[in-house]
Structure 1
Amino acid sequence: MLLGVNIDHIATLREARKINDPNPLDALSICKLSGADQITIHLREDRRHIHDLDAKAIIEHSALPINLECSINSTIIDIVYKLKPYRVTLVPENRKEVTTEGGLDLENNFQKISRAIAQLQNSGIEVSLFIDPTLKSVELANMLGASWIELHTGSYANIFAMLYTNLKHTQHSIKELELPNEKLKNMLDTSLENIKNSSSLAVNLGLKVAAGHGLNYQNVKNICELKDIIELNIGQSIIARSVFTGLSSAIVEMKNLISK
């Protein structure tokens, strides 16, 4: 299974002090030497971490393919079109959110997404759509002509956290926080089944399947067992682990987990 390392939070640390250190560009060689298969960055509309110059430099200097996440905002698409990363993953974006809260609403944004895909593909860029793990979303992604989908694993990660780590307040909180373990286990099984069925349909339709969001060293094993998913994009947990172990060790540990 391929590993895309999201290095956004290196830039988040830099932005905490509005200085030049740490520079996400310095992570590129470490990621490659440590076994990462791809670099993922998110050029947000509010530029809260990765800036335009970061994206340009990373794309120019990386020996690994760059997967650039961005919204379907036309101004952003125009910028990304010129940057020419290897792949663009279109994601929903709410400026008030702490992190991405769910998959794209493909149905209500069908025409806008279609125009963005056409523009990017015209520049020779692969396009992936970040979607919730539902059969309808997979079918719409296929109709839109995307090459990849990335399944949003946030709900799975939240349920896993409540069940196995006694974490009662997750980023995307479930309304019933005090649930019996048996109910949480059923919810976890259902979440995994949705991811499995969505990835299976996608492959049958000719789409390549990635997954990501909320994945960490504790919960990634179940996702790795789904044979139709060929790539994981993981950022926060790797960067958080690297604070204590160093970036190389954090990447190697994750790569070993997903390769077993």
Structure 2
Amino acid sequence: MTKLGVNIDHIAVLREARKINDPDPIQALGVLALAGADQVTIHLREDRRHIHDEDARRIVELSPLPVNLECSIDESIIDIVCRLRPHRATLVPERREEVTTEGGLDIIKYEDRALKAIERLHAEEVEVSLFIDPDLELMTVADALGAEWVELHTGAYANIHAMLYGNLPHSHHSIVELDLPRHTLKTKLEESLASLSGAADHAASLGLKVAAGHGLNYQNVTPVAAMRAVEELNIGQSIIARSVFTGLEKAILDMKALLR
């Protein structure tokens, strides 16, 4: 079965709405383990809009599950990750004005900086994943950089699926026109899935482990989870949103049922 990493950033988002201490993301760790999650995922953003340094430290130290710490390639952030030594670091792009990560890390443009970050993380025995768009050339570059994992950015697929089936896009930054006819959206959805599957297969053929994530939810996750080469999905906002109504354990169990 495809493994599930649960991103708990949005628990901290709720806390930051009032700038208080409640809810504490640490309290989610036991629930994740009880519900059968395979990994805890957090993103220590440069602007600290949700997860703070102290959150990251406590989560890495106290989590009964492996911790996947998403971060930019900024040197000061890599300094922190090297000190914390989580199980895995996932290198992602960041723009402070974005609502959420809008695309994969350009490891061709930033190859030197990415390589330096990877080498530093490996020196601290932290495995590295690269959050990149589903492009065959990028898979080859990721392998050459020495990463153990790639995480495929599924945002394009998620946006098209949301527009095709009547849900609002997961962000206001849509990568396709909103007024496309239904048959065109269906074609684009098939193309986006083929792109993800092709990139996953190519990465796996190079010896890379393959994860996927961004915008995945209870409506769109099944086709991605079914891809043979995809070993893991990292999902956050949709699980935390459902947990408001069902509780966190039930929300995780519902997602895991879909991954089967």
State the TM-score, normalizing by the size of structure 2.
0.98
In the alignment, the residues of structure 2 paired with residue 69 and residue 174 of structure 1 have an alpha-carbon distance, to the nearest angstrom, of 23
RMSD: 1.0
Letter in 2 for 1:117: I
Letter in 2 for 1:107: I
Quote how far apart the aligned CAs of 1:172 are: 2.6
1:150 aligns with 151
Say if 2:60 is the partner of 1:55: no
Say if 2:86 is the partner of 1:85: yes
1:31-55 per-residue CA deviation (whole Å, 9 max, x = no partner) reads 0000100000000000000000000
1:177 aligns with 178
In the alignment, the residues of structure 1 paired with residue 213 and residue 36 of structure 2 have an alpha-carbon distance, to the nearest angstrom, of 18
Letter in 2 for 1:224: A
- Unaligned 5+ runs, structure 2: none
Is the Cα–Cα contact under 8 Å of residues 238 and 254 in structure 1 kept in the other structure? yes
1:29 aligns with 30
Is the Cα–Cα contact under 8 Å of residues 11 and 23 in structure 2 kept in the other structure? yes
SS at match of 2:188: helix
1:189-241 per-residue CA deviation (whole Å, 9 max, x = no partner) reads 00000000000000000000000000000000110111100000000000000
Cα distance 1:175–1:232, how it changes in 2: closer, same or farther (>3 A)? closer
Cα distance 1:108–1:22, how it changes in 2: closer, same or farther (>3 A)? same
In the alignment, the residues of structure 1 paired with residue 250 and residue 51 of structure 2 have an alpha-carbon distance, to the nearest angstrom, of 23
Is the Cα–Cα contact under 8 Å of residues 217 and 254 in structure 1 kept in the other structure? yes
Quote how far apart the aligned CAs of 1:144 are: 0.5
Is the Cα–Cα contact under 8 Å of residues 155 and 172 in structure 1 kept in the other structure? no
Cα distance 1:168–1:252, how it changes in 2: closer, same or farther (>3 A)? closer
Quote how far apart the aligned CAs of 1:80 are: 0.6
2:248 aligns with 247
Alignment of 1:33-44 (within 5 A): 33-44=34-45
Is the Cα–Cα contact under 8 Å of residues 150 and 212 in structure 1 kept in the other structure? yes
SS at match of 1:94: coil
2:211 aligns with 210
In the alignment, the residues of structure 2 paired with residue 155 and residue 42 of structure 1 have an alpha-carbon distance, to the nearest angstrom, of 20
Is the Cα–Cα contact under 8 Å of residues 168 and 177 in structure 1 kept in the other structure? no
Quote how far apart the aligned CAs of 1:169 are: 8.3
In the alignment, the residues of structure 1 paired with residue 67 and residue 175 of structure 2 have an alpha-carbon distance, to the nearest angstrom, of 33
In the alignment, the residues of structure 1 paired with residue 41 and residue 170 of structure 2 have an alpha-carbon distance, to the nearest angstrom, of 27
In the alignment, the residues of structure 2 paired with residue 211 and residue 161 of structure 1 have an alpha-carbon distance, to the nearest angstrom, of 17
Say if 2:124 is the partner of 1:134: no
Is the Cα–Cα contact under 8 Å of residues 169 and 177 in structure 1 kept in the other structure? no
Say if 2:233 is the partner of 1:232: yes
Quote how far apart the aligned CAs of 1:171 are: 2.9
2:10 aligns with 9
State the TM-score, normalizing by the size of structure 1.
0.98
2:258 aligns with 257
Cα distance 1:37–1:240, how it changes in 2: closer, same or farther (>3 A)? same
Letter in 2 for 1:192: L
Across the two proteins, how many residue pairs are aligned to each other?
259
- Unaligned 5+ runs, structure 1: none
Q: Which runs of 4+ in 1 moved over 6 A?
A: none
Cα distance 1:148–1:16, how it changes in 2: closer, same or farther (>3 A)? same
Is the Cα–Cα contact under 8 Å of residues 168 and 178 in structure 1 kept in the other structure? no
Letter in 2 for 1:141: A
In the alignment, the residues of structure 1 paired with residue 147 and residue 112 of structure 2 have an alpha-carbon distance, to the nearest angstrom, of 13
Cα distance 1:217–1:168, how it changes in 2: closer, same or farther (>3 A)? closer
